Amino acid sequence: MSQPGVIDIKPAQVLDMVSVGRAANAAGLIISWDLMHAPPDGVKALAEAAKPPPVVD
């Protein structure tokens, strides 16, 4: 999300936030974005980060 002077979330920050949640064993995630104003690169980063981790046998 980017609104100059208010909020400026970069794709790397999205990846970091999801990573921190996974490291803390969070049961899920909640996203609060106005998708009409969310930058495509942030949405793409979220989609990539929210993929389930690979299952290791």
**pLDDT, tens digit, 9 for 90 and up, residues 1-57:** 566 777 778 889 889 988 998 899 988 888 777 777 788 888 899 888 888 878 887
Query: What integer pLDDT is reported at residue 16 of this predicted model?
Result: 92
Burial label, 33 (beta-carbon count in 10 A; 0-12, 13-18, 19+): middle
Q: Which residue do the tokens 């998708």 mark? A: 35
Q: Which residue do the tokens 């942030």 mark? A: 42
The interaxial angle of helices 11-23 and 40-49, nearest 10 deg, is 20
Q: What is the pTM of this model?
A: 0.69
- Count of residues in the chain: 57
Query: What integer pLDDT is reported at residue 12 of this predicted model?
Result: 92
